[in-house]
Structures are given as structure tokens and as C-alpha cells.
Amino acid sequence: MTIKKTNHFSELNDAQKEAVETVNGPLLVLAGAGTGKTRVLTSRLSYILQNKIAHPSEICTVTFTNKAANEMRMRVEKMIGNSIAGWWLGTFHSLAARILRANAELVNLKNTFTIIDTDDQIRLIKQILSLENIDEKRWPARSLLSIIQRWKDMGLNPIDVKDAFHSGTDFANNQAIKLYKLYQNRLITLNAADFGDLLLHVITIFQRNSDIKSLYQNKFKYILVDEFQDTNASQYFWLKSLAEKHKNLCAVGDDDQSIYSWRGADVSNILNFEKDFQNTKTIRLEENYRSTGNILAAASGLISKNQSRLGKTLWTEGDMGNLINIRTVYDGKEEAESISDEIEAYQRNNNSINNVAILVRAGFQTRTFEERFLKIGLPYQVVGGLRFYERLEIRDAIAYLRLINSSDDQLAFERIINKPKRGLGDKTIRQIEQYSRSSKLNLEMASRKLSETDELSSKASSTIRLFSKNLDKWRIDLVSKKLGELVEIVLEESGYIEMLKKDRSIEAPGRLDNLKELVNAINEFESLQNFLEHIQLVMEGANNQDIETAKIMTLHAAKGLEFPLVFLPGWEEGLFPNQRSIDENGESGLEEERRLAYVGITRAKSDLWIFNANSRLTHGQWIDCIPSRFLDELPEKNINRFSSYSNNYNFKSSIASEWLAANNKKVMNHFQDNKYDNNDTNFKLMERIFHQKFGYGKIIDIDGDKVTIDFEKAGEKKLMLTFIEKI
């Protein structure tokens, strides 16, 4: 193969050149956001080939996504002037699959094994649960799959799982390990493997067959791995095994961008690299080619508060640019209005809306922006996920509401009659459909009539009668209850909430949050009919994806992307940093939340806005919000703070350490227990006041800067004094 001569160093800075030229021995390249890590990887690969240091077959280059692998492949082919088809360049799973196919018989598979997807995994687990007489409604298949995937990410076969590893996984009365074994045996019988098996089987082969391990250790003289901070235990063990002989492992990553622990990633892999590999050379890429000086200084100041990091400081030869704008608004609605106003102003200055991104911490936050953008005709795209009203749990909830609103809604009936599962099989559903056609009754009435006959099984009849009884009750509730309250009642009494609570998948907490946001959404409407008509209009207002759009996405989905103008809404305690992450993981959870904030800030090239609200509608109730601690961790010289409303919170990051010292006491409780210094309220009990949102009311309790007010129309609310007026 002829390799085109390329000047690898012509466009590289000194640190990048050093990373490319340092070929032998373990190398850790700490590549900060926007510092050109992909250029370094491709240049290093090309350098090794051009200088004939190794043959292409002797180099293993690992990426995390097919997109990254394809991008690297195209860049290298352009640099060397040759196709690299057949090279060992790809994702962890694709490369492991190549090794496994060549040695499948060593783990009792044929080399023609099938790689199954998530749907097949769920189907297989359901079969096993059924054979073991385990109630799938009580012990969902998806929950067991999450447990099994976690064990595989840890590199554990069923025989390796000990009590220490399955604490907190009390599935079906401690049957998880047994079920894991049955699942693996079934896969072998089917000559199949799931994605977790691809690495796990290869690790098993290496452990049991030293000759095979030596073969690949000798083969790969050089190993390059991208996004090293995102590796899990299984991936790290595989890389270590391959690098044992030559020790030429080049790991490129950024410990400050490790944000996927919920998917199995372990930041300690990159933090301990220098300990695990003796004589490691560490090179820091700190010159940033993406963002302005103020953005980089703010990001560096924030992330410096983390203790578990190797340390680096981003800088640029470019100018400082505009200050970061931090705006405090009254509520989520004003937040969406303010951001849309800024976007429209940006457009009026002849800038493309394609340059704009709104990055949220949680998926449910997109709803407010979608509603606002649709209202004013601002084109948008939800990236990396569905629009709010397209999400599975939202469509299910709306189907319940549609059926309550109209018994003639056949599609709604079909969608929810067995969701959550009520033991109604396909046979029962077909019987209802047949009777509906023959009797010319809608599906709901047909099911009611059938349940009073002997046509259905006694169990099916009983289930339908209970469902019908619930429908009757909910229709009465529709008249007597507030819409948000109705939604909560329906989701609870239908068993839908319980279904999600039992679901231990990664997605389940987010689905529950989305349903809470649905309660907020429906409370804005006077009638159920108006809300359902609104949903129809929203769904019909789908964007033409060929036009330019503002991008809405989660912070996790934004990693690796960049935009000239970025908005970061919802920087409040409990929302960001996320309370669930802190409760479950303590200090490490807080530090990962800070890394996520760092990722968000460094997506911005030129302009950055950060928003926090003084109050938010949560589960149909208004709550006071505490500004995120991250706001006080940003260097003051790099930011511009202004507010539509004032507040007296003075949150300092030192509270984080206080919380950690208090044996994981919940942060929110910590703040709620704190009293404010300013007790000079100038307000008296039973004094009549006015509030811009809630109208007239009287003060019934005063607690520092907080007051409880009995509003004439809105009922009792707890608010900050700064938001009420004397009359």
C-alpha cells in the first residue's frame, strides 16, 4: 500500500504535535472541549503509517459511535490518499464482534451468531419470566434487562455476580442472578448475542485462553481510543488486555466531560490511567478553537470546583467576546418568552436560526419552549428525541383523556385498554372488535356488553368491568375536579404510574417527569376539549425539517456539538444540579452535574445565555426556586447578571460541602431549613396585598423573606416578599 506523504504538523499547535509524535509507551491526551482531539487522532494514525512504524493491520483504533468512526475513516483516507477498508477502526462493539466471530466456538457459539436488539431482548426475557412463573406486571422485563446490562458493563458473567454486586437489585425476590443465567443459556441455544455480550464474551475468551489473548496482544502494536472518559469497566478491561504486551495505548479524552455514569461510564478509568499504566506520558490540549475568552474562563472557573479531576485550563488566542448573560425571570413561561425574543432579535440581525441551540437538563423542559415557538411561528427541531406530545407516555396519557372525553374514540380505546397490562390477550381484543362490528357499537360499549355475557373468560370480564367502572368515575371527576387533578387521578388509578415506578430502566424517571409536566400543561386550559384541540393543532404544526430551525436538546445530547448562540435554561437547585443525581450518588453525582454544566457552557462559540426562574409550576403547584449553586461558581468578571425580578437568595457554593458533610442530607431540605438574615419585612399578618400573577390576598404567615398568602382566587401560596405589593 502506498501512503501519501503528508505534513502532519503544518496546522498543529505544540501540544498537538507532541501528542502525534509521542508514539511509544502509554499516552494520555487530556483534550479539553474544542481543542482539536479528532485532528490529533487522525494525524497520529497517519503519522504512524507514513513513517512505517506499523502496518495498518497492527493498529486498533476505537471510537464510541459509528458516526465518529466514519468521520475518522474519511479524514484518514483523505490524509493518506488510500482506502482503509478492512482496517481495525470502529466502535467497541464492532471490533469486539470481529474477534468474537473468529473465536465464537470458545463460548459455545457458531460464527454465524445473530446480534439481537432491545426488542428481541425484552421478548426473550418475557419468555423466561413466564416459564419461571414470575408476574411480569410486578417484575417488568425491562427492569431485569437493565440489571443484566449493568452487570455486563461491569464485565460480569452470571458466575461472577456476587452479593456485593447485586445490592439494590432485588428483582423477583433475589432471583436476578438465576434469571441472568437462564437468559445467557437461552442466548447460547439460539446462537445469539446481545450488544453487552460482544465485549463480555471476548473478555471471557481472553481469560480462559491465554494463547488467543496473546495472539491479539501481539497483533495490535498500537491502540488508539477516543472519548476515553466514557469507557465502562468492561471496555476498560478489554483495552488493558490488548495493551498488556506492547503498552502502546493512546487514550484521548476529557475527564471534565464525563457525563454518562447512568449508562455505565466510569470516570475513574481516565482518572486512574496514570496509576494503571506505569511511565504514562500525559499531554494536555488546552488551546481552544471554538469559544471566546469569556466563555472559556467561565467554564474553567466552574469546573475548577470539582475535586476529582486531573486539571487543565482552556484558553484561546481569540478575543474575549461578549460577557455571558445570566438572566433571572419570574417563571418558566417568561423564560420561554425571553429566549424566543432573543432568538428573533438575533434573526433580525441577519443571523441564521440554525446557529441557535436551547440546551435543557431534563426532557420535560422542552414542552414550554415548543408551545411558545409554535405560538409565534418560530421553527424548531427537538434533536435526539421526540417532541413532547409525541413521547410514548404522553401519547398514552392523552389517549386516556380522549376516551374520557368521548367513548366513540376507537383509537384511544385500542391504545389503552391493555396499557398498563391488564391480562387482556389478543384473543379478547379480537372478540371485542368483532362484536363491535357486528353490533355496530363502539369498542367501549362493545366491551361493556361482552363483559356481561359468557363470551369472555371470567378474568377478562372482571377486568373490563373494573376498567369501565373507572371510566365512569373519571367522567364524573372531569366535571368535579381540576384538569390537572384529573390527570393525576387517572394515571394513578389506571396503574400507569405504578408501572413506571416498577420500571428500573434508565428512561423511567424521565417518563415520570414528563407526565408531571403534562399536568402543568393541562392546567393552562379551561376545558379538556380545549386541551385536546390544542394538542391536535400542535401535532399538525410539525416542522418541515428542510427549513432552518432552532435546536432544542438535552445537555447530554449536545455533547460534541457547537453553536454560535446557546441558551441554558432552568439553572435552579433540584433541576440543575439534578436532585435525583445528588440523592443517589452524593458528591460524585454533584460533580457529574457540574461536568454537565461545563459541557453546556462549552457548546457556545460566541454568545451564551443562562436562565433561572424565581418560581416554577410543578405538578400543578407553584414553588419558589433557589438559584443553582453553579451560578455563584462562575467568575464574576466574565458574566453579566440582570433580572426581570429581584430575589434575596444568596446561594454560595460552600453549601455543597456543608451538605456533603451532613451525611448526604438532601440539599433541598438543607435550604428549606435555613433562615434568612433579613427579617425587616415591613409586612404584617392579615395585611392585604397584591400579586401580579395571583391577584389579591392576605398574609397568613411570615417566615423571614417568605410569606404564606391566602389569595382570593388562587388559594394558599408561599412566595418571596419581593414579589408582593402593599395596597
Active site residues: 37-38, 226-227, 257, 603
Q: Which strands sit side by side in the sheet containing 88-91, from one edge to the other?
A: 88-91, 59-63, 222-225, 249-253, 27-31, 281-285
Tell me whether residue 67 is exposed, middle or buried, using C-beta atoms within 10 angstroms of its C-beta: 0 to 12, 13 to 18, 19 or more: exposed
Q: Of all residues in the chain, what percent are helix, strand and coil, respectively (each to 5)?
A: 50, 15, 35
The maximal CA–CA distance of the chain, rounded, in angstroms, is 88
Question: All 3 cell numbers of residue 575?
Answer: 433541576
CA gap 569, 342 in Å, rounded: 13
Q: Are the CB atoms for 69 and 89 separated by under 8 Å?
A: yes
CA gap 177, 191 in Å, rounded: 21
Q: Are the CB atoms for 373 and 380 separated by under 8 Å?
A: yes
CA gap 349, 712 in Å, rounded: 46
Close Cβ partners of 541 (under 8 Å, ≥ 6 residues apart)? 374
At residue 36, what are phi and psi to the nearest 5 degrees?
Answer: 85, 40
Question: All 3 cell numbers of residue 346?
Answer: 438575533
Question: All 3 cell numbers of residue 624?
Answer: 419558589
Residue 181 amino acid letter: K
Do the bridges between strand 192-193 and strand 249-253 make them parallel or antiparallel, or are there none, so unpaired?
Answer: unpaired
Instruction: State how far the alpha carbon of 550 is from the alpha carbons of 354, 381, 449, 599, 679, in Å.
Output: 5, 6, 51, 19, 45
Q: Are the CB atoms for 366 and 387 separated by under 8 Å?
A: yes
Tell me whether residue 621 is exposed, middle or buried, using C-beta atoms within 10 angstroms of its C-beta: 0 to 12, 13 to 18, 19 or more: middle
CA gap 444, 451 in Å, rounded: 11
- Residue with the three cell numbers 377486568: 463
Close Cβ partners of 692 (under 8 Å, ≥ 6 residues apart)? 723
Triad 710, 616, 354: Cα angle to 5°: 155
Close Cβ partners of 377 (under 8 Å, ≥ 6 residues apart)? none
Tell me whether residue 88 is exposed, middle or buried, using C-beta atoms within 10 angstroms of its C-beta: 0 to 12, 13 to 18, 19 or more: buried
Question: All 3 cell numbers of residue 315?
Answer: 484558553
Do the bridges between strand 688-691 and strand 724-726 make them parallel or antiparallel, or are there none, so unpaired?
Answer: antiparallel
CA gap 29, 285 in Å, rounded: 7
User: Three-state secondary structure along 319-385?
Assistant: CCCCCEEEEEECCHHHHHHHHHHHHHHHHHCCCCHHHEEEEECCHHHHHHHHHHHHHHCCCEEECCC
- Residue with the three cell numbers 417563571: 331
How far from the centroid of its chain's Cα atoms is residue 304's Cα?
Answer: 24
Q: Which helix (H) or strand (E) holds 105?
A: none
